[in-house]
Structure 1
Amino acid sequence: MTTPFAPPSHRVLTDCVRSATTAPSLHNSQPWRFRIEPPAVEVYADPDRRLPVTDPDGREQLISVGAAVFTLRLAIRRAGYQVRCELLPDSDEPSLAARVTAGRPAAVDATTEALAAAIPYRHTNRWPFARVAVPAGAIEKLRDAAEREGAVLTVADPAGRDAILGLARAADQRLRERDDYAAEISRWTGRAARHDGVPAWAYGPGDALGVMPVRDGAGTLAVARAPVAFEPHPTVLVLATDGDTAADRLCAGQALQRVLLTATWLGLAATPISQPVEVPEIRALLTRRPAQMVLRIGYGGVAGHTPRRPVNRVLLDEPPG
C-alpha cells in the first residue's frame, strides 16, 4: 500500500522559484519564466529576452535557463523533497525547457545543504583575482560537479590558456564589428535603475596589460575605470558537452551552475569569458567537443548581487500561447 504524502505548497514552490531566479544569465537578461502547478514547476525560455545579435541561435539562452533549472532542482531538494526533472517534455511547446516535479519527502544530504547555502553568494566577479594558484583538489571538485550533470570541464594548460585568451580577444573584436552589437550591449548594461541587466557598479576595470578580454559594457556606457593589471596566469576552464542539441545546452547550463555553486562553496570567484563561444568559427577551435562556456576562476574579493526581477514578474498563470 502506498503511503500518501503532502506535496510542497504553492508558497514553498514560489520560494524555490525565487531561488532559481538568482541563476546566471547572459548580460543578466534573466530569460526565463515559470509556471507553478503543484507538485511541479514548469520552466520556459522567454523568447522576448533572447539577445539576437550576441546569441542568434539561442544557445546561451538555453544555458541560462538550464542554470535556473538546476537551481530550482536544488531548492526543491533543499526543501526536503525528491526531485524529478524532465527536459523538453512537450515537443509541441518548444519554449517549455523543463518540468521539475517534487516527489516524496527525503532527507537532505550534506552536498545539497552546501550547494544550496552557496546560492545567495554566487556572483560574477569581473575584477582581478589574487595571484594564488587554485589547488588541484578544488579543480577536481569542479570537474566532478560538471560530470555529475553530464558535461566535461577541462582545465587549460599554460599554452592552452594563452591560446584561449587570444581567441577570446579576437572574438571580442569580431563581436564589436557586428551590426547593432553596441546597441544590444547598451540595452543590457550600465543602467542602475532596473531589475535586469548589468549595472555600472558590477563592471570591473579593463586589463592594463590587455591580456584579459574584458567585455566593454559600463566602461563606455556609464563610468570609466582606470585599467589595472589582472593576474598574469589565470586559471581558465572550458565547459563542453558531447552534443550540441537543445537538451545538451540545457545540461550545460545545469552543469555550469553546479560548477559555479561548488566554486562558491570552495571560496572561489568566477567570471564567464563568453566571447569565444559566441563566434562559431572561434568556438569550434576551443575543444573537440562542443564548447559551451569558458570560465576564469580564482580567489577574488566580494562581488555584489546584480538585480533580479521580482518573482511575480516571472510567474505565469497559464502556459504561454
Structure 2
Amino acid sequence: MKLTRRDFLKFGGATLVAVAGGVVLRAADQGVFSVGKGIAYEPWRNWRDAATATERIVAAGILASNPHNSQPWIFRITDAVIDLFADPERQIGVIDPFLREMYIGLGCAVENMMLAAQAEGFAATLQLMPDAADQTHVAHIELVPSSPLLSDLYAAIPDRHTDRGAYDMAHPVATETLEEIEALTTEPDIRLFWYKEAAARAQFSRIALESTEALIADEQQSKDSHAWWRQDWDQLQETADGITLDTQALGPITPIAKIVPDLSRQQNDAAFVKNVRETMLPTASAFGILAVKDSSDNTQRLNCGRAWEQIHLWGTTQGIAMQPLNQMCERVDREIQLGSEPEIGNAVRALLNDDSWGAIMPFRLGYPTNKVNLSPRRGLGKVIV
C-alpha cells in the first residue's frame, strides 16, 4: 500500500504521541514527578506528630545517618524507657563484615534520640551495650521529666542529609570552622584527624579512590552493596530503605536516569567510581577521619556514631555539606576477613600516622552547590516492636 504524505504525517504524529505517552507513563511510574513524596518519605515530615513522647523520640532516631540507608534498628518502648536493638537482618554483608558501620549508624540514632528527649522535656539516662550477653542490645534509655531544651542540633534533625554532589571549590571551609567541629568530639576514646592541606588531601584522595576501585573489583562486596540499590519506585515505597537515584546528586539528568532502563550492577559500579574520582574527592574542601582506641569495641563505635551525628547536625546548622567515605575502612575490614595482604590497611595506618588510633569513620565536607533530596525511611510501625 502506498502512503501519501498526509498518511505519513498522521502515522508519524501518532507514533510520536505514543512514544511521548510511554515516556510520561514511565516517568510517572518511576517517581520523576514525585521526588520526596509517598509513604517512604513521610517520616521526615511527621516526626513530631506521634501520639506519645517516646514515639516522637524514636521518630527522631530513625532520621539518623546510617550505612547504605539500611536502618539497622529495632526499638522497644514504654512511657519512660526506650531500648534500642541492632537488627541483624539489615546487616549489609561483606561491605561491613565486622558490623563497624552498623554500630556507628546505631550510635547516630542514639544521638538523635538524646537530643529529642531533651526537647520533649526529659532528662535522659543512657546506658550503652547494657547486656554483655546480648550484643544486639545497643542502648537503654530511661526518661525522667525535666525542663524542655530545644537545641539547634535538635532543630536540624529533619534538614540533615548526606550530600554526594560537588562542593563549592570557591568557598573553602575555614580552619576556625574545622576547629569548632573538632571541639564537638569530647569522648576520650575518639579523635578527629583532619586532611585540609593539598598534600594531605591528595594522600587521602589516593587511598579513597584505590579503596573504591578495590571494592567494586571484589565481586561479593559489589553484590552486597548493590543489594541496597533502589531504582524501582514501587519497591522503594514498599521497602522505604536503601540508596536511590534521587540522592545521587545527579542534577538535571536525574529524571533521565530514572526513565531509562535500570543500570546493571557493573554499570552502577563504574558510575560510582567515576563520581568518586571526578566529583567527591576533587571538590571536597577537607577530609576527616574519626578514629577510636579500639575499632572492635562496640561502645566506642556507638560513641563514634554519636560524634558523627553531632558533627553532621552542627554542619547542617552552618550550611556545610558532608558525606561519609567509608570505602577505605570497608576494604580494611575485608582484607582482615579474607586474610589478604593489608594494602589498604597499611595505607590507612600511614594516613593516621599514629598506631594508638584506629580509623573507623572517614568523611568529606564543603559548602554545597545544589539542594539534596530526601532518602526513604521506614516509619514507626515498622521499627517499634
The TM-score by the shorter chain falls in which range?
0.7 to 0.9
In structure 2, what is the Cα distance between the partners aligned to 1:223 and 1:173?
9
Indicate conservation of the 8 Å contact 2:187/2:303, yes or no. Answer: no
Aligned 8 A contact 2:168 2:283 in 1? no
SS at match of 1:167: helix
The count of aligned residue pairs is 296
2:163 pairs, out of 125, 129, 133, with 125
Once the two structures are superposed, what CA deviation does each residue of 1:12-69 show, in whole Å capped at 9, x if it has no partner? 1101101100111111000111110231100111100111210011111000111111
Indicate how the Cα distance of structure 1 residues 314 and 298 shifts in structure 2: closer, same or farther if over 3 A, else same: same
Residues 50, 61 of structure 1: 8 Å contact kept: yes
Contact preservation (8 Å) 2:164, 2:247: yes
Q: Equivalences for 1:116-265 in 2 at 5 Å?
A: 116-131=154-169, 132-147=171-186, 151-156=190-195, 157-191=197-231, 192-193=233-234, 194=236, 195-205=240-250, 220-221=267-268, 231-232=282-283, 234-244=285-295, 245-265=297-317
Matches of 2:318 and 2:201 in 1, distance apart? 22
Change (3 A) 1:296 1:145: same
In structure 2, what is the equivalent of residue 55 of structure 1?
96
Do the aligned partners of residues 64 and 223 (structure 1) sit closer, same or farther apart at CA in structure 2, a change above 3 Å counting?
A: same
Flag the 1:64–1:217 CA change in 2: closer, same or farther, 3 A.
Answer: farther
Report the identity percentage.
26
Contact 2:289–2:363 (CA under 8 A) maintained in structure 1: yes
Q: Give the distance between the partners of 2:304 and 2:284, measured in 1 at CA.
A: 26
Deviation at 1:150, TM superposition (A): 5.2
Q: 1:306 and 2:375 equivalent?
A: yes
- 8 Å CA contact 1:189–1:218 kept in 2: the answer is no
1:113 partner letter = S
**SS of the residue 2:209 aligns to:** helix
In the alignment, what sits opposite 1:106?
A: 147
Cα deviation, 1:167-198, whole Å, max 9, x if unaligned, reads 11111122122232232222111424320001
TM-score in terms of structure 1 length: 0.85
> 2:109 corresponds to which letter in structure 1?
A
User: The residue matched to 1:180 in structure 2 has which SS?
Assistant: helix
CA RMSD of aligned residues (A): 2.6
TM-score by length of 2: 0.71
- Structure 1 moving runs of 4+ over 4 Å: 216-219, 221-233
Q: Which secondary structure state, in structure 2, belongs to the residue aligned with residue 237 of structure 1?
A: strand
Match in the other structure for 1:209: none
Task: State the secondary structure of the residue aligned to 2:192.
Answer: strand
Gaps of at least 5 residues in structure 1 are 1-8, 207-215, 317-321
Query: SS of the counterpart of 1:305?
Result: coil
